[in-house]
Structure 1
Amino acid sequence: MKNIIETLKNFNLIEKISILILLILFIFVNDKNLIIGIPFLLLLTYSFIKDKTKREIIIENIGIVGAVLYLLGFSFSDYSSNRGSCLMILSFLFQIFYKKKKIEFGEKKIMYMFFFILIFGCIWTSFSYDGVNSIGRFIKVNKRFLETFLMLNIIKEKRQFIVAEKTFILGALIVAIYYMLDYILNYNIASTHVNYRCEGFKNVTYSAGILMMGSMYLFGKIWEIKTIKEIYSKYIDIISFIIIFIGLILTKLRASLLGIGAGIIFIIIFSFDWKKVLLLFLLGSSLIFVVPDTIIERVRHITIEKSIKSVNTGSDNMRRIMWQGSVYTWKNNKIFGAGARGTKYWVQKFADENTDKNGKTLYGFNREEFTYGEAHSIYLNMLAETGIFSILYFIQLFIFIPSLVLKSLKANKNKGEKLGAIVGMISYYIMGAVWSLWGYYGAVQSIFQFMLFILIYFYLEDLQNKRKEIIK
């Protein structure tokens, strides 16, 4: 805060007002109305050109401002996310061409693979069933790693990292508080009703994604607390975790809760402490007496007591059609796939071929009710959409990224942040098995990319510390 105040002293009152107005516009105003910010932008551009000190300040800070705006977009503002990306690109260009700084690729194997998938994938998908029509969609789905790349070149100092981290947590808190207030105000509504559940903040899937990975990240940090003194120093993280976790429970999304379970199991295995495990067991057991019955009812139906009238069963049975339909898509397009988001024709064709004379499809629901055209799974979508090209995705997700995880766990410094990022990614892998988090809910993929950025950030810090030790 002190640094911000000192920085702003270099700007006059009109320029400070312009900065504030532009930030508000960048977060909340749509593209059509953003034109009202042009006079304020021109004023700042004039000060940028005229005054060298101000120019240096803007160049140094435009990137982190962009990262903050981008991260706010995870929770409540798509406009903010898009404008943040633009500012990060500007900052990157300034760093490379004005400051002559070296481009940072982070963990090169991972970043090069992402670039290769994006570039070669455009060529590959042009030969798919959907042809050149799918190229634009392919780029939209697979370019999200670029924000990870940009942040690696912008966020260099610990104070910048902390600003980005706190922004991410703030966004998760906003979503969690919404669900808490929503539950209180709508307590008498049958909250297992699917329409009510899907009217969540922005969208229940996006909400569950940020709450799941946000709570896991904080859980990893809290798990590494060693002393009572650390508890007091990290009380904000602890309170934030409790609020975000409650918000996650209130989304009632079963897959996200399974992701949480997988993340916790990973932490227990790789950072075992029997005292913490006992405390976790006691706290987990107490949830039975605290969590409202409507939520327990939904979570309990993950695998048992199914009926066609159940929201859970209807959802699961439709998924089974989508999964089988996606395998059917792949069997008919094994080499090049059906194209990015190009599977609907084949999935619907599979449903038609498996509908009886009474209009009932597999598992007994009406064919008219089935309008989906994708796999509702990261992995099956990749297979159906890109054919044998999907092996590159699987190498990235299950070989290259896990290898970074293992390298990161070897160094004890910043272990809490690393564990948090790792289990955040693990929860994404689990939830992604039954939700299309890579393509159809791309904002959740962006959160995964932020977790990956955190892991690479500390991986680079570990390498830097090693070099310093060798020099000494």
Structure 2
Amino acid sequence: MKISREHYGKIEEILLYLIGLSLFVSYDISKILASVTILVLIGRKVLYKEPLDCGNEKIKKFIIGYILIGIVWNFIGGMSYKPVRNFLKMARYMPFVFFLYPLFQKKKEFFNRFLICGLGSYLILLGKVLSEYKKNPFGRVDAFEGVNPTGTMGAMVAVFSFGLFVSEKNIFKKIGFLAIYLSGVWITVATQGRAPLVGALLGTGLIIGLELYSNFNVKKMMILFLATLILIVGGLKTIPPQKLARFKTAFNTEKTIENHSNGLRLEMWKVGIKRVAENPIFGSGTKFDRENLFKKFAEELSEKTEADKNYKYQLLNLGFNDAHSMYINAAVDNGVYVVSLLILWFLIPGYLVIKNIKSLADKRYLLGAVGGVTAYLTVGAFWMLWRTPEQMYFWILLTIMFSTITFNESENE
């Protein structure tokens, strides 16, 4: 017997809450929920003839086209089913857009409850970080999914909350959003995540710029400038010198054993660029190195200094096989098809913001989402985010942007 749409909606609602509660706690659970989401979307189509919807028909076609063309492109690039399988595994979080958006439009309460579930998940993460910090105040603090993901989570939550803080009218909510912002920045400091901290600062700066652009006011500009200055100076004063030491080397490119984190990443970038040059059109296929080019180019690295030898040994023996940059990885995997991802990452969010920022009556979530995307894209320059479950954050932030725009259009009507 066919399940009623009302009962099916209850299943969707439960899944919605589970996705929110798992956001910052377990990627294993998120992977399972992503698969369940695909099944639920198939059920929507088969049982109730409901089309996929994200609020923008052209962007919907672009996303679907990216997946379909990507399947063919990866097969040609790798001449194997394996890169196609890897590509689809990475794309498993994309359906979140088409699952969440219709629910948010059906009831705005679902949107608010999803954010509350996400906040609950974040508070669990924050508690875990605090617990680990007490055990080792001067080390790099880990949480549920590792040091780097924890720092990235903190940065994105911080910047998203700052977008809400800037545009919020209620003073009590404003204080709450500021507290979340500061806690997120603190997490990036506790993990000593240099890229997440840079991402948080860039996202914060972009939100301030967009707020002033959409509604320029000298008084507001001065308040935002002073508040930001106090936050930065006050924050730096409260950070132990041992924690700051790592951040001071954020842009150090010196090739030494002590600076191996930056130096080794630069070597991986060089190897990645060489791999792009080998297959510039179709790439080698997603996460597929049939010709073992990474090892080949790593073996060609110099051994003139002790640092050279150290870097080369690590690249060849410690399991490295990518460029530690989602941009270079994407070019390695898909050659010129990386353009589709650049459009998805930069042009689509940019278009949505520029088109709507001045017309929205309530732009809190649009500012928060674009700030979160900025933090994500910044970290991605130094980490393989698109290959990890952290990809889901991009899709969720994009969904929030779609939803915010539609909410305001409905209210205006």
Q: Percent identity?
A: 21
DSSP 3-state at the match of 2:389:
helix
Contact 1:177 1:243 in 2 (8 A): no
Q: Displacement of 1:322 after TM fit? A: 1.1
1:75 alignment partner in structure 2:
24
Q: Displacement of 1:366 after TM fit? A: 4.5
* Structure 2 counterpart of 1:391, one-letter code: V
1:342 alignment partner in structure 2:
288
* Alignment counterpart, residue 368 of structure 1, candidates 306, 313, 334: 313
Q: Displacement of 1:395 after TM fit? A: 2.3
* Structure 1 counterpart of 2:235, one-letter code: L
Aligned counterparts of 1:277 and 1:90: Cα–Cα separation in 2: 48
Aligned counterparts of 2:311 and 2:148: Cα–Cα separation in 1: 25
Contact 1:118 1:143 in 2 (8 A): no
Contact 1:223 1:416 in 2 (8 A): yes
Structure 1, unmatched stretches of 5+, are 1-48, 192-196
Contact 2:253 2:262 in 1 (8 A): no
- The structure with the larger Rg is 1
Contact 1:267 1:419 in 2 (8 A): yes
2:153 alignment partner in structure 1:
210
1:7 alignment partner in structure 2:
none
Q: Displacement of 1:73 after TM fit? A: 2.9
* Alignment counterpart, residue 301 of structure 2, candidates 348, 354, 366: 354
Aligned counterparts of 2:370 and 2:410: Cα–Cα separation in 1: 21
1:172 alignment partner in structure 2:
122
2:103 alignment partner in structure 1:
154
* Alignment counterpart, residue 361 of structure 2, candidates 410, 413, 417: 413
Aligned counterparts of 2:236 and 2:177: Cα–Cα separation in 1: 24
Q: Displacement of 1:166 after TM fit? A: 1.5
DSSP 3-state at the match of 2:357:
helix
* Alignment counterpart, residue 165 of structure 2, candidates 213, 219, 222: 222
Q: Displacement of 1:123 after TM fit? A: 1.0
* Structure 1 counterpart of 2:128, one-letter code: Y
Give the paired residue count.
400
1:226-251 deviation digits (Å, cap 9, x = unpaired): 4xxx1224443333333233222211
TM-score in terms of structure 1 length: 0.78
Does structure 1 residue 396 correspond to structure 2 residue 344?
A: yes
Aligned counterparts of 2:254 and 2:275: Cα–Cα separation in 1: 28
CA distance 1:413–1:92, change in 2 (3 Å): farther
Q: Displacement of 1:457 after TM fit? A: 0.7
Contact 1:326 1:343 in 2 (8 A): no
* Structure 1 counterpart of 2:312, one-letter code: R
* Structure 2 counterpart of 1:262, one-letter code: L
* Alignment counterpart, residue 202 of structure 2, candidates 259, 262, 275: 262
Aligned counterparts of 1:106 and 1:314: Cα–Cα separation in 2: 46
1:129-183 deviation digits (Å, cap 9, x = unpaired): 4632211001111232111121112332111001111222222222222112211
Aligned counterparts of 1:329 and 1:60: Cα–Cα separation in 2: 47
* Structure 2 counterpart of 1:72, one-letter code: L
DSSP 3-state at the match of 1:414:
coil
1:431-455 deviation digits (Å, cap 9, x = unpaired): 111111111xx22110111111100
TM-score in terms of structure 2 length: 0.89
Aligned counterparts of 1:221 and 1:271: Cα–Cα separation in 2: 11
Does structure 1 residue 453 correspond to structure 2 residue 389?
A: no
Aligned counterparts of 1:96 and 1:328: Cα–Cα separation in 2: 44
Contact 2:24 2:122 in 1 (8 A): yes
Aligned counterparts of 1:130 and 1:308: Cα–Cα separation in 2: 40
* Alignment counterpart, residue 408 of structure 2, candidates 459, 462, 468: 462
* Alignment counterpart, residue 223 of structure 2, candidates 269, 275, 294: 275
Q: Displacement of 1:369 after TM fit? A: 1.4
1:20 alignment partner in structure 2:
none
* Structure 1 counterpart of 2:222, one-letter code: W
Q: Displacement of 1:79 after TM fit? A: 4.4
1:340-381 deviation digits (Å, cap 9, x = unpaired): 11248212211111233x7x6984525221142111111111
Contact 2:71 2:87 in 1 (8 A): yes
Higher alpha-carbon deviation: 315-324 or 402-411: 402-411
Contact 1:128 1:336 in 2 (8 A): yes
CA distance 1:368–1:464, change in 2 (3 Å): same
Does structure 1 residue 123 correspond to structure 2 residue 72?
A: yes
Does structure 1 residue 246 correspond to structure 2 residue 211?
A: no
CA distance 1:292–1:81, change in 2 (3 Å): same
CA distance 1:118–1:176, change in 2 (3 Å): same
Greater RCO (Cα-Cα under 8 Å, separation 6 or more):
2
Aligned counterparts of 1:347 and 1:270: Cα–Cα separation in 2: 41
Aligned counterparts of 1:63 and 1:380: Cα–Cα separation in 2: 37
Aligned counterparts of 1:66 and 1:326: Cα–Cα separation in 2: 39
Structure 2, unmatched stretches of 5+, are 213-220
